[in-house]
Structure 1
C-alpha cells in the first residue's frame, strides 16, 4: 500500500471518529490534538533547532488567558471595546501578545548556550505561571469561568464532538506548514543549527534569526492551543500552564520522536492515553490514591531514552519499506533555471592578504607578524608542524577570529569587525578540519545548504509551499556540484553513512554551492584514499584554471607538493619560509622544522 493511501485512510478515520466513539474518547482525542499542537512547536525548537525549552506551557497560558479576559470582562478598556468580546478577536490579540512576549524572551534567552538556555526557559515559564495566578483581573488562582463557545459559520461549537473538527483541522494545517518549512531553504538553515553555529554562519545563515523564527513559531502554536483549550473547557486557571505541564510536553516530544513532525502526534497520543490508563488502573493495583502514574511514566521514559533515544516514530520509519522513505525525497527538476554566477577576479589579481597579523591569547602568541598573499587562479598551501599556528591563522583569514594586531584584506576590504556570514556573502567559502555535516539529512540537502545565500524566499513562502521554483534552482545547483566532485550517485544517501573521505568531498561541494571566488580548505585530503586524492587534486586544478583562488592547510606533503603553486611554512606562529614547492623542499629552515619529514 502506498503512503498516500494510508494518509487518506487516517483522515477518514479522524473524520468519522466523533460519530462512532463515546464522548469520553472524543474528549481524549481533543486533548491529544491540543497537546500535539504544542509538541509540534517543540519539534521545531528542540528536535530540529537543538534548543531545549521547558516554558511552552506558559505560552499556552498566554493564548488561553488573552481570550478569557477579552470574552468575559464586562467593561473592556476603551482601546479593546471595538472587539465586542469576540473569541476570534481574542485569538488575534492572543497571538499578537504571544508574539511580543516570545520576541522579548527570545532576545533575552536565545543568546544563552549550554545548560543556561533551558534554565532560562524554566525561569520565565515559572514567572508567567505565577503572573497568571497573581493578577486579580485574571481571577487569581481561582481562574476565569463562563467563557463563550466558539461559533463558526453559524455553527456553535459547544460540544466536544463539534470543536473536535476545528482542533484537528488546525493541527493538520500546522503539520502541513511545518513540513513545508523544514523541506525548504529556510528549513535547511534551521536544521543547520544543530550542526554548529560556525558552520551555519559560514554558509551565510543568520543563526540568531533562525533561532528566533522557530522560537516564535513554537510560541504561536502554543498560543493557538491555549485559545482552543480555553473555549473547549470554557474555564481557565493557572494549573495547566505550569512547569510540570511544560515537562510533560517535552516528554511527549521525546516519546514520539523529538525530531519528527509526525512524532509530535504520536508522542501526544501515547502519553495522554498511557497517563489515563495508569490513572485508572494503578490505584486499583496499589490499593490507594496517589500520583503513581508520574513515577511509572518517569521510569518508562528513562528506559526508553536508553533503548530508543530518537523516539518511537524513527523506529516505525525504519520498519517501513524503503520505497516509502524514498518518496519523501524532493526530486530535482532538470529543466529548472541555473543560478546566476558571480564574475571571478582576473587571474593574478590579489584577492586575500594578511598584513602583519598577530594573535595573542593572554601571554600566548599564536600568530606573530604573519604576512601572506593569495591571488586569483592560484593554489596557496599553508603548512607547518603541529602547533605551528595554522588553524589560528586560518580563523583570522575566514573572519572567525579577529587579529590582535594587523589586518586581513579580502577584495581590498578589511575584515575587521565583519562576521563569517558577511564574509561568506562577499565571496569566501570554507571547509572544516573536523567535518561538520548534518548526518541524518541527505547528501543533496547538506550540499544545498551552501546555496542558502543565493536564494531570497522567506519563512512565509516556505511555509505556504510557494517557493518551489527557487527551491528547484537551488537543488539543481547542489546536484551539479555533487556530480562535479564525483558524488552524483549519492544524492539521497544519508550524509552520515558516507566514508570520511566522501564527507570531506561533500564539504567542498557545499562550499562551491556558495559560488565563491576564494575557497579555504582545512585539511581536505585527510582520510582520503589514493584515488580520492587524485580526484580531489584534479578538481582543485580545474577550479584554479577557472580563476578560483584556493588556500589550503594540509599535512599530506605529497598532495601539497604536486598541487600548490606556492607554499607558506609556519613554525611557532611565524612564517619561516615562502616559495615554490621545489624551493620549500630544499629549504634548511623547513627541513629543520620538520626534522626531516612532515608530521
Structure 2
C-alpha cells in the first residue's frame, strides 16, 4: 500500500463503527480480524519474506495473554502496565525457542515449530497458576482516560491503531538495510554470507520480531475477551495464522490484513450458513472451509494482495539520490601478493577435490583459474571465501591467514565474489540486489529500520548501488525485478553487487557465460578498468578467447591438482594443458 493511501485507509476504518445500522456483531468480527492480522503480519515477515515456516505463532500469543492475565488478576496491575511485561516474556521465550529453531533447515524447521507448538499448548493447560484447562477469567478490560473499553466499538479503535502502526513499522523495516538482509535469507546461506550477512543472527531477529507481533495480539486478546484458556494458543490456530499470511500474499505486509479478513469472515460465514443448508447431523463446515481455502490458493497462488494491487496503476520507481554523500572507501592494503594458497587441500571423505594446490594473485593482476569440469575450481573459490574449510594447507589474504575465520569476516576484509549459478533474489529489484553487496558498508540496525532513522544511510547505500549498476552498463534496468533480466545480464548484476562491497579482490565464477560478444568486450573493459584502480581479479572461465586476451596469469587445474601455471602465451602451448583441457589437436 502506498504511504499516501494509508491516511485514507485509516479514515475509512475510523468511520466503520459510525455507519448507521452496523451491529456490534460486525464490529466484533472486525476486532477479531485486527487481532489475527497482527499475528499474520509477523508471519509475512518470517515466512513470506524470510522463508522460515512456523506453525507455532499462536503459542506466542499465549505467552503474552497469560502474562497479562496473571499480573492483572493476581497482582492488581493496570492492563496497560502489563504490556511491556507481556512483550518481554514473549520476547524471552522467542529467543530461547529461536536459538534452537532457526538452526534447523528444510522440513525440520516447520516440524520443529509444530513440536513446540504442541508442547506449549499442554504447558499452558497443566500449570495451576494459569488455571489449567479452564484458564483465567475476570481479566479487566483496557481503559482510556477513565473510560472502560468493554464495548467492541470502543476497543476497535485501539486494535486497529496497533494494526496500522505495526504495518507501517514492518513496511519500514523491509525498506531498509536490515530488510534486505531478511530477504537475502531466501537466496540461501552462501550468498548471504558472501556479503557479510550473518544468516543465523538475522533469522533470530526476525523470529523474535514476529513473536512480538503475536505477543501484542495475545495481550489485546486477553483484555478484549477478558478470559484466556489454552485453546486459542494451540497448533490449529497456528496453522490458520499461516494460512492468513499465505492467502493474503506471503511477502505482502498489507496482505496480512486481507488474509486475516478472508479467513475470519469465511469461517464465520460457513459456521452460520452450512448448518442451515445441510443440517447439523454432520459438521460439514470444516470440510467446506478446507475446500474453499484450496480453491482460493489455486486461483491466486501468489495471494490476494498482488491481485488487488494489480488493479491500481503501479507507483513510480523511487528516486535515487545520486548526490548523496559517497560511502567510505576501503583503505587498500600494501601487502603483495594480495592472495596466496599454500598446499591448499580439501577432501570429502576419500575424494580429494583440491589436491595441495599452491598459487598466488599479485596485487592488481587478473588471474584465471581454468580446467575441465570437475577440476576443483569452484571448490577452490569456496575455500578462499570460507564457504568450505581446508583439510590442510593455508590461504593468506593481504598478509593475514583467513582459513577458518568465516565467510562474513572474509567479506569484511575485502573479498567479494560472484557465483557459477546465479544467486540473485529474482523478485527484488536490480537496485536492491546490488545494494545487498554494500551491506557491510552500512551500520544502521533493526530498530533504526523500524522507525526510519536510517534514511540518510539508505540514500548513500542506494546511490552506491546505482553507481555500480551504471558502471556495468545496466542503468536502464535498475528498477526491474532481477529475475526479469536475461541470464547474461543477471551475471553482470552479480558483478555490480560484488563491486558494491568495495573489494580488494574480486572472485568471478564464469562471468562471461551467457554473454554475447559485445557484452564480453564490455566486461573485459570493465575488468581492465578495475585492474587500473588496483583491484585484483581471480576468475574461473571456460571461454579461452576471453581468458587469453585478458589475463596476466593462468593457473590450470585437473582433478583437483595444479598441472600448469604461467602467462597466457606459455599456457596455451603447454602439452599437459593441451592434453587435459584445450585439446591435443588444437
The answer on whether the counterparts of 1:350 and 1:375 sit within 8 Å (CA) in structure 2 is yes
Aligned pair partner of 1:98 in 90, 94, 97:
90
* 2-structure distance, mates of 1:503, 1:595: 28
Out of 509, 526, 538, the residue aligned to residue 522 of structure 1 is 509
Q: How far apart, in 2, do the equivalents of 1:96 and 1:118 lie?
A: 24
The correspondence for 1:467, drawn from 434, 437, 454, is 454
TM-score, with structure 2 as normaliser: 0.97
Q: Is the 8 A contact 1:556 1:598 kept in 2?
A: no
Q: Distance in 2 between matches of 1:267 and 1:376?
A: 55
Q: Which residue is 1:384 aligned to?
A: 371
Counterpart check, 1:253 vs 2:245: yes
Is the alpha carbon distance of 1:210 and 1:289 closer, same or farther for their aligned partners in structure 2, counting shifts above 3 Å? Answer: farther
Corresponding residue for 2:525?
Answer: 538
1:274-289 alignment runs, 5 A limit? 274-288=266-280
Runs of 4+ in 1 over 4 A off after TM superposition: 2-6
1:191-590 to 2 correspondences below 5 Å: 191-288=183-280, 290-322=282-314, 324=315, 326=316, 329-346=317-334, 349-590=336-577
Question: Aligned partners of 1:304, 1:128: CA distance in 2, in Å?
Answer: 31
Q: Is the 8 A contact 2:336 2:398 kept in 1?
A: no
SS in 2 for 1:62: helix
User: Aligned-pair RMSD on alpha carbons?
Assistant: 1.6
Cα distance between partner residues in 2 of 1:173 and 1:574: 59
Report the equivalent of 1:32.
33
Structure 1 contact 523–555 (Cα < 8 Å) conserved: yes
Q: TM-score, length-normalised on structure 1?
A: 0.95
Distance 1:313 1:102 in 2: 29
Q: What residue is the counterpart of 1:80 in the other structure? A: none
- C-alpha displacement at 1:289, in angstroms? 5.0
Question: How far is the alpha carbon of 1:349 from its aligned partner?
Answer: 2.3
Cα pair 1:32 1:269 within 8 Å, conserved? yes
1:595 and 1:9, CA in 2 relative to 1: closer, same or farther beyond 3 A? closer
- Match of 2:330, SS state, is coil
TM superposition shift of 1:254? 1.1
More displaced stretch, 569-578 vs 589-598: 589-598
Equivalent-residue separation in structure 2 for 1:32 and 1:241 (angstroms): 16
Do the aligned partners of residues 161 and 206 (structure 1) sit closer, same or farther apart at CA in structure 2, a change above 3 Å counting? same
Partner of 1:11: 10
The answer (yes or no) to whether the contact 1:555–1:598 under 8 Å persists in 2 is: no
- Looking at structure 2, the residues matched to 307 and 404 of structure 1 have their Cα atoms a distance apart, in angstroms, of 51
The whole-number CA distance in structure 2 between the counterparts of 1:97 and 1:66 is 7
In the alignment, the residues of structure 1 paired with residue 141 and residue 572 of structure 2 have an alpha-carbon distance, to the nearest angstrom, of: 84
Aligned residue-pair number: 584
- Matched-pair contact (CA < 8 Å) for 1:366–1:392: yes
Shift of 1:301: 2.5
What is the CA-CA distance between 1:309 and the residue it aligns to?
Answer: 2.2
**In the alignment, is the contact (CA less than 8 A) between 1:388 and 1:572 conserved in 2?**
yes
Q: How many angstroms does 1:367 deviate by? A: 1.1
The answer on whether the counterparts of 2:384 and 2:403 sit within 8 Å (CA) in structure 1 is no
Q: What are structure 2's unaligned runs of at least 5 residues?
A: none
Conservation of the 8 A alpha-carbon contact between 1:444 and 1:491:
yes
Structure 2 distance, partners of 1:361, 1:449, is 32
Quote the offset at 1:416 in angstroms.
2.3
Distance (Å, rounded) in 1 between the aligned partners of 2:207 and 2:124: 21
SS at match of 1:350: coil
- Structure 1 residues 556, 304: closer, same or farther in 2, change over 3 A? farther
Where structure 1 has 5 or more consecutive residues not aligned to the other structure, the ranges are 77-83
For residues 416-439 of structure 1, what are the alpha-carbon distances to aligned partners after superposition, in whole Å with 9 as ceiling and x for unaligned? 221111100011000000000111
Do the aligned partners of 1:336 and 1:476 also contact (CA within 8 Å) in 2? Answer: yes
Deviation per CA, 1:335-376: give whole Å up to 9, x if none: 210111013345x82111100011111111111110010111
Partner Cα distance (1:208, 1:365) in 2: 30
1:186 corresponds to which residue? 178
SS at match of 2:310: helix
1:53-76: CA deviation from partner (whole Å, max 9, x where unpaired):
000000011111111111111xx4
Pairing 1:85–2:77 present:
yes
Query: 1:160 — aligned with what?
Result: 152
Pairwise CA distance, 1:5: 6.2
Q: CA deviation at 1:597?
A: 7.4
**Contact (CA 8 Å) 1:67, 1:230: kept in 2 or not?**
yes
Q: Distance in 2 between matches of 1:223 and 1:292?
A: 33
Deviation, structure 1 residue 486: 0.3
3-state SS of the aligned residue for 1:359?
Answer: strand
- Is structure 2 residue 103 aligned with structure 1 residue 111? yes
Q: Deviations over 1:13-72 (max 9, x none)?
A: 200111222100000000000000000000010001100000000001111111111111
Counterpart position of 2:23: 22
Partner-residue secondary structure (3-state), 1:338: coil
Q: Distance in 2 between matches of 1:240 and 1:234?
A: 13
1:70 aligned partner: 71
Cα distance in 1 between the residues matched to 2:95 and 2:459: 32
